[in-house]
């Protein structure tokens, strides 16, 4: 007997519009409680919602990126449930006519492509926040109430923790590529709800088997908790099934809701509320339907950038970069754009990739920005790359110059000159230094000449002395050749 | 004629001539209100200081020779389900007993722009749910024509204060007849505009796909004037029409010719009071004598309209009224231990019986297993009813009929029998289901001296035509000039 | 459709609608709602096969707002009607997750 995890994921993504979904309040995180609110998002008597065009177009863009069918006609529905953070006690959402459906996303998992089906993606309004750590009461902050929220529902096509994580990370990468969400986990821009069950089968008859009861875990707001939840549930369900192979089956038990306990790192059973599924959906009478024609859809389509997976493949092919470096460079659209601009400006792809990876990403990370946000134009970085490509500066020096460029607007060449970092490749200037070093280190010269065990070490020592005396400016390749010639008489 | 008896047009003329000031007119009405409103109880809240200050401002601007708005200095009353940032907006519900709106409804902004004076807020059936104004959380309103009878509802307060000359006109709202039925019961003019003609922004929602704000006035031209002031496109209401507002007054005195008036035989069924049937027939005869052609129509689906209406209106209401939970505003039960209990107790104490009944009905028809049989079915029949009207308007310019099946009934007579009370809306709900404009104008009195109304309906966004047709009848009759004898 | 909504059903609906009802109200609503539903059941006489539902009187679509943010109420104004507040929060009895 064996089992295969079967996992679907629901993801909620807050869209980064300027204003909320149905009113003009700022869509902004971190402001004092109840300061980004108006009569509409407070659910005051008499108010009416109005649709945010940008939010709709963002949602359609995502639908296109997920290869979905975009509905030419959609409407809005009210989903009724009572909760303090839901001001109208109904949520404006899309029920039977989501704006996009039947799509897919391709993931790279361990070098393999895996296709995950997208059931639907629809737009709705976010709820506010209940704050539970106040003395004696729960506080309600409605700043987030009405923020546009994209709900993306996958097919249960994932079969392992790595696949779930690849899917979740790809979604974050995608919304960032599309520039429709900051997808900042700390600010709650992305929330996950996995549905997990196991397909239990007999190895002899892999087609005949059964599912364990589906477990849905709500409201996970970090990759870490998603990863641990899914891993925990797979183990837990496997244990349950082993303990009770005939009873722990989907056809004998109903779906279960569980919550993730972040402290104990376990999922805990949540009582299924009797009314949980009684949402009393009906068409929202305060809003009109949306009809999208080819021209409008075309305009949105034109905004689609090259998507991460396509860009990855192109970078590998076009620039001959390895997997790791390509993954890094294509992880964010800004990095990939920057890299391409540097190459466009004349840098060799490998040099540019290495400098961006070793210096750019590290420095950007330290400064809390992205590579393009460091303030070094692609042209200037290409200039630095060329200096290194032409052996005018060493790789180590280039790294130093990269840092110096953060503080100075000078061209990289000038920085190198001002700081005496240009390599000395001029043999006449080096010859004097080499002669000096050789005359002062007779033993090492002898060791080198002897060609014995110590020769290699002796040569390194001599070169080190030359480098030191040149204050590091000697081109080590040229200096080495000079030494060889002088000592061994080679040319 | 006495100052309070004037129409808006007459008052405006006097104000323009300087015969009377807005302050005088306003103060005069407050004196009358003080004398007569304790019996009628049309007002829930008076805004005397603000009204007189506004009247004073208008008088000064008039003296300074400034150009003033079309309702300059005219004292008006507002149904208390329309949000005004001054004073309270209660919807006659205990759950909103102390609610102060932080914003003005679109129509209030429009009245302010027209330089009107707001006297106060008028009584209604709680959340506009009712046909008698007996369902108010703050006491019932009496009919000025006979204080033992109801003024109709839900805009009973607005209709009563206009009929009693305690306001020159008023705003009401109409979800299933709530402007037209009290207008008929109080012998005033009540107009429900086409759905989308007047912004609903700031009208406390009852049935969102049915609600519309409209004028209650002493004459048809006054209703036209008020409609012109409040009708416009408003971006805050997605269902507000982006159509130009007609000049409702320009040709209001010009009779419509040729004029084909349709009458559905189904309107004169057994449920209709004999005296009302006679009054409506007489009105049709009068139109005929004015050159109209009367066309008999058959509209068999009309009998289903009420059922459709009560499903649609209560479903929408059950959702619209979910927000009254005691969290952000309104009444809160203080003894509850958790939030669910707090909601349920606050709503139990804050809502009256009729509101609870309708929320329950709407919740039921939207709940799993019943949606298709009730709600979806109703939406489909709504389509059929709409098609019926579309077809009728291929033959006629206007459909005429009664507003109510009976004259004003006695206080308390139907309060314990919701279904019978619902039947009061049998002639009015069609205009809400179809979105069509409809007007109620005085067309006679019963032998007991109680008012009778005539209902006219025209095509969507044809208020100009509707008002002209109504004005033809008004010019030829004097019912609108008769005044009730008030008790004080 | 059921000819009568019994008090148990009324109780279930009342819970969904978040309204506490007294025993008397339960029984009264059971009768009244049954009457009303019996009345509206006349709709089942009509054949509505293939008929599109009408959700509103208007036949328009695509009414959007530009994505422009503007501040509206201060938190003081937002909280002015609150029956209970804690600092700048609306306060409710403890919600147990």
Sign of CA dihedral A365, A370, A371, A374: negative
Bigger pLDDT: A208 vs C32: C32
Catalytic residue among B7, B22, B79, B158: B79
Give the per-residue pLDDT at A398.
Answer: 84
Write out chain C residues lying below 8 Å of A288, CB-based.
56, 58, 60-63
Whether residue B124 is contained in a domain is answered as yes
Do A282 and B371 lie within an 8 Å CB cutoff? yes
Residue B204 inside a domain? The answer is: yes
pLDDT at B318: 98
Q: Classify residue C24: in a domain, yes or no.
A: yes
Domain that includes residue C12, residue range:
7-45
Is B159 among the domain residues? yes
Mean pLDDT of B346-372: 96
Q: What residue ranges of chain C have pLDDT lower than 70?
A: 1-3, 97
- Residue B102: domain span: 3-254+463-481
CA count, 13 A, side-chain hemisphere, B361: 31
Domains with residue ranges and CATH for chain A: 2-298 (no CATH), 317-418 (no CATH), 427-488 (1.10.10.410)
Q: How many domains does chain C have?
A: 1
B8 within 8 A of B77, measured Cβ to Cβ: no
B311-315 average pLDDT score: 98
Count up the domains in chain B and report the number: 1
Of B238, B339, B375, the CB nearest to A48: B238
Predicted pLDDT of residue B67: 96
pLDDT at position A392 over 70: yes
What SS3 class is residue A363? helix
Domain annotation covers residue B138: yes
Structural domain contains residue B223: yes
Q: Nearest Cβ partner of C66 from A23, A53, A137?
A: A53
pLDDT value at A204 more than 80: no
pLDDT score of B208:
98
Average pLDDT over residues B189-196: 98
Q: Which helix (H) or strand (E) holds B76?
A: strand B75-79
**Within a domain: residue C66?**
no
Chain C CB contacts of B310 under 8 Å are 36, 39-40
Is residue C26 one of the residues assigned to a domain?
A: yes
Of A75-79, A369-373, A394-398, the least confident: A394-398
Average of pLDDT values for A248-273?
87
Which residue in chain A is spatially nearest to B95 when comparing CA positions? A45
CB atoms within 10 A of CB B265: 11
User: How close, in Å, is residue C13 to chain B by CA atoms?
Assistant: 6
Please confirm, yes or no, whether B488 is among the known catalytic residues: no
Structure confidence at residue A274 (pLDDT): 59
Residue B30 lies inside a defined structural domain of this protein? yes
Q: Which of C20, C53, C69, C77 to mutate to test the interface with A (most CBs of A within 10 A)?
A: C69
Residue A322 is predicted with a pLDDT of: 92
- pLDDT band, very low/low/confident/very high, at A209 (cuts 50, 70, 90): confident
Examine residue C86 and state whether it is found in any structural domain, yes or no.
no
Residue B428 lies in a domain: no
B163 DSSP β-pair partners: none
The answer to the question of residue C19 being in a domain is yes
Domain CATH for B7: 3.90.1300.10
For A151-175, what is the mean pLDDT?
97
pLDDT digits (tens, 9 = 90+) for B435-455: 999 999 999 999 999 999 999
pLDDT band (50, 70, 90) for residue A408:
confident
What are the tens digits of pLDDT across the range A96-137? 999 999 999 999 888 789 999 999 999 999 999 999 989 989
**Could you write out the three-class secondary structure of chain B?**
CCHHHCCHHHHHHHHHHCCCCHHHHHHHHHHHHHHHHHHHCCEEEECHHHHHHHHHHHHHHHHCCCCCCCCCCCEEEEECCECCCCCCCCCCCHHHCCCCCCCCCHHHHHHHHCCCEEEEEECCCHHHCCCCCCCCCCCCCCECCECCECCCCCCHHHHHHHHCCCCCEEEEEECCCCCHHHHHHHCCEEEECCCCCCCCCCECCCCCCCCEEEEEECCHHHHHHHHHHHCCCCCCCCCCCCCCCCCCCCCCCCCCCCCEEEEEHHHHCCCCCHHHHHHHHHHHHHHHHCCCEEEEECCCCHHHHHHHHHHHHHHHHHHHHHHCCCCCCCCCCCCCCCHHHHHHHHHHHHCCHHHHHHHHHHHHHHCCCCHHHHHHHHHHHHHHHHHHHHHHHHHCCEEEEECCCCCCCECCCCCCCHHHHHHHHCCCHHHHHHCCCEEEEEEEECCCCCEEEEEEECCCCCHHHHHHHHHHHHHHCCHHHCCCCCCC
In the residue annotation, B79 being an active-site residue is answered as yes
With respect to residue B47, please indicate whether it lies within any of the assigned structural domains.
yes
**Does the pLDDT value for residue A276 go beyond 90?**
no
CATH of the domain at C17: 1.10.20
pLDDT at residue number A436: 85
Q: What is the pLDDT of residue A480?
A: 84
pLDDT digits (tens, 9 = 90+) for A431-487: 888 888 888 888 888 888 888 788 888 888 888 888 888 777 777 877 888 888 888
- pLDDT band at A56, cuts 50/70/90? very high
Which chains does chain B touch, 3 or more C-beta pairs < 8 A? A, C
Interface probe, candidates A38, A72, A138, chain C, greatest C C-beta count within 10 A: A138
Q: Which residue among B236, B315, B340 places its CB closest to the CB of A282?
A: B315
- Predicted confidence at residue A371, as pLDDT, reads 87
User: Any residues with CB less than 8 A from the CB of A97 and at least 6 apart, and which?
Assistant: A71, A73, A74, A75
Q: Which of B136, B158, B178, B462 is catalytic?
A: B178
Asked if residue C12 is part of any domain, the answer here is: yes
Backbone angles phi, psi at B401, to 5 degrees: 180, -175
pLDDT band at B305 (very low <50, low <70, confident <90, very high): very high
Within 10 Å of residue B257's Cβ, how many Cβ atoms? 9
Whether B178 is catalytic = yes
| Per-chain mean pLDDT for chain B | 97
Q: Determine the Cα–Cα distance for residues A105 and A64; give it in Å rounded to an integer.
A: 11
């Amino acid at each position: 007997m064996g089992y295969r995890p079967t996992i679907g994921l629901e993801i909620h993504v807050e869209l980064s519009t300027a204003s909320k979904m149905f009113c003009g309040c700022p869509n902004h995180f971190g402001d004092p409680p109840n300061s980004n609110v108006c009569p509409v998002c407070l659910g005051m008597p008499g108010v009416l919602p109005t649709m945010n065009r940008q939010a709709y177009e963002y949602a359609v863009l995502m639908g296109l990126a997920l290869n979905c069918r975009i509905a030419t006609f959609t409407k809005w529905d009210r989903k009724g449930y009572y909760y303090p953070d839901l001001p109208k006690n109904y949520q404006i959402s899309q029920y039977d006519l989501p704006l996009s459906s039947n799509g897919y996303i391709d993931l790279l998992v361990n070098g393999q492509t895996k296709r995950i089906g997208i059931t639907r993606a629809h737009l709705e309004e976010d709820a506010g926040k209940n704050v539970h750590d106040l003395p004696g009461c729960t506080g309600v902050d409605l700043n987030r109430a009405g923020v546009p929220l994209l709900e993306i529902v996958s097919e249960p096509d994932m079969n392992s923790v790595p696949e779930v994580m690849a899917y979740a990370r790809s979604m974050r990468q995608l919304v960032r590529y599309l520039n429709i969400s900051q997808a900042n986990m700390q600010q709650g821009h992305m929330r996950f709800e996995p549905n997990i069950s196991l397909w239990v089968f007999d190895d002899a008859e892999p087609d005949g088997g059964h599912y364990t009861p589906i477990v849905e875990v709500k409201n996970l707001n970090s990759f870490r908790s998603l990863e641990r939840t899914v891993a925990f549930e797979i183990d837990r369900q496997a244990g349950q099934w082993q303990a009770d192979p005939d009873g722990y089956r989907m056809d004998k038990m109903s779906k279960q809701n569980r919550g993730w306990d972040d402290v104990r790192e376990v999922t805990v059973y949540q009582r299924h509320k009797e009314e949980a599924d009684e949402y009393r959906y009906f068409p929202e009478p305060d809003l009109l339907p949306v009809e999208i024609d080819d021209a409008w859809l075309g305009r949105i389509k034109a905004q689609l950038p090259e998507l991460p997976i396509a860009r990855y493949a192109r970078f590998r092919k076009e620039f001959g970069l390895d997997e790791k470096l390509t993954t890094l460079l294509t992880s964010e659209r800004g990095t990939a754009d920057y890299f391409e601009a540097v190459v466009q400006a004349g840098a060799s792809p490998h040099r540019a990739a290495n400098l961006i990876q070793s210096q750019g990403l590290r420095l950007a990370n330290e400064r809390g920005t992205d590579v393009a946000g460091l303030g070094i134009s692609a042209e200037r970085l290409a200039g630095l790359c060329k200096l290194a490509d032409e052996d005018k500066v060493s790789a180590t020096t280039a790294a130093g110059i990269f840092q110096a460029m953060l503080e100075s607007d000078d061209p990289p060449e000038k920085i190198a000159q001002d700081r005496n970092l240009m390599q000395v490749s001029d043999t006449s200037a080096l010859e004097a230094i080499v002669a000096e070093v050789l005359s002062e280190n007779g033993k090492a010269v002898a060791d080198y000449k002897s060609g014995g065990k110590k020769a290699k070490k002796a040569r390194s020592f001599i070169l080190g002395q030359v480098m030191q005396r040149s204050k590091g400016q000697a081109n080590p390749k040229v200096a080495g050749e000079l030494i060889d010639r002088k000592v061994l008489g080679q040319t | 004629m006495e100052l309070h008896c004037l129409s808006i047009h007459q008052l405006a003329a006097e104000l323009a001539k300087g015969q009377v000031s807005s302050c005088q007119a306003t103060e005069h009405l407050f004196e009358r209100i003080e004398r007569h409103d304790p019996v009628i109880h049309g007002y829930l809240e008076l805004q005397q200081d603000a009204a007189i200050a506004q009247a004073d401002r208008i008088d000064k601007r008039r003296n300074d020779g400034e150009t003033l708005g079309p309702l300059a200095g005219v004292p008006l009353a507002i149904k208390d389900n329309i949000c005004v940032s001054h004073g309270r907006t209660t919807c006659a519900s205990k759950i909103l007993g102390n609610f102060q709106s932080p914003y003005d409804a679109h129509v209030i902004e429009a009245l302010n722009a027209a330089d009107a004076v707001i006297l106060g807020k008028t009584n209604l059936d709680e959340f506009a749910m009712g046909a008698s104004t007996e369902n108010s959380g703050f006491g019932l309103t009496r009919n000025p024509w006979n204080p033992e009878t109801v003024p109709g509802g839900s805009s009973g307060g607005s209709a009563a204060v206009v009929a009693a000359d305690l306001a020159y006109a008023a705003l009401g709202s109409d979800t299933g007849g709530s402007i037209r039925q009290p207008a008929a019961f109080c012998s005033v003019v009540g107009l429900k505009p086409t759905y989308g003609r007047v912004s609903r922004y700031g009208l406390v929602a009852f049935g969102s796909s049915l609600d519309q704000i409209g004028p209650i006035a002493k004459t048809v031209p006054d209703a036209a004037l008020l409609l012109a002031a409040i009708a416009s496109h408003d971006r805050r209401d997605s269902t507000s029409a982006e159509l130009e507002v007609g000049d409702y007054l320009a040709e209001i005195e010009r009779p419509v010719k040729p004029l084909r008036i349709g009458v559905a035989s189904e309107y004169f069924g057994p449920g209709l009071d004999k005296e009302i049937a006679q009054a409506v027939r007489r009105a049709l005869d009068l139109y005929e004598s004015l050159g109209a052609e009367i066309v008999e129509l058959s509209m068999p689906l009309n009998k289903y309209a009420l059922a459709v209406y009560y499903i649609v209106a209560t479903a929408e209401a059950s959702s619209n009224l979910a927000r009254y939970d005691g969290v952000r505003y309104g009444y809160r039960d203080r003894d509850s231990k958790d939030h669910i209990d707090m909601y349920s107790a606050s709503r139990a104490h804050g809502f009256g019986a009729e509101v609870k009944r309708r929320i329950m009905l709407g919740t039921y028809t939207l709940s799993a297993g019943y949606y298709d049989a009730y709600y979806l079915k109703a939406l489909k029949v709504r389509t059929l009813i709409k098609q019926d009207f579309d077809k009728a308007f291929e033959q006629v310019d206007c459909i005429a009929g009664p507003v109510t099946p009976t004259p004003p009934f006695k206080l308390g007579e139907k309060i314990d029998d919701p279904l019978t009370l619902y039947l009061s809306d049998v002639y009015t709900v069609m205009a809400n289901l179809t979105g069509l404009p409809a007007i109620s104008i005085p067309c006679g009195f019963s032998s007991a001296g109680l008012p009778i109304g005539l209902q006219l309906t025209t095509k969507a966004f044809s208020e100009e035509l509707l008002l002209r047709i109504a004005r033809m009848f008004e010019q030829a009759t004097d019912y609108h000039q008769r005044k009730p004898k008030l008790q004080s | 459709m059921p000819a009568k909504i019994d008090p148990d059903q009324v109780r279930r609906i009342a819970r969904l609608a978040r309204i506490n009802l007294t025993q008397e109200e339960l029984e009264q609503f059971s009768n009244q709602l049954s009457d009303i539903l019996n009345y509206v059941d006349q709709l089942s006489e009509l054949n509505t096969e293939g008929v599109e539902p009408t959700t509103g009187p208007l036949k328009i679509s695509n009414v959007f707002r530009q994505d422009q943010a503007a501040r509206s109420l201060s938190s003081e104004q937002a909280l002015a009607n609150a029956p209970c507040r804690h600092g700048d929060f609306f306060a409710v009895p403890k919600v147990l997750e």
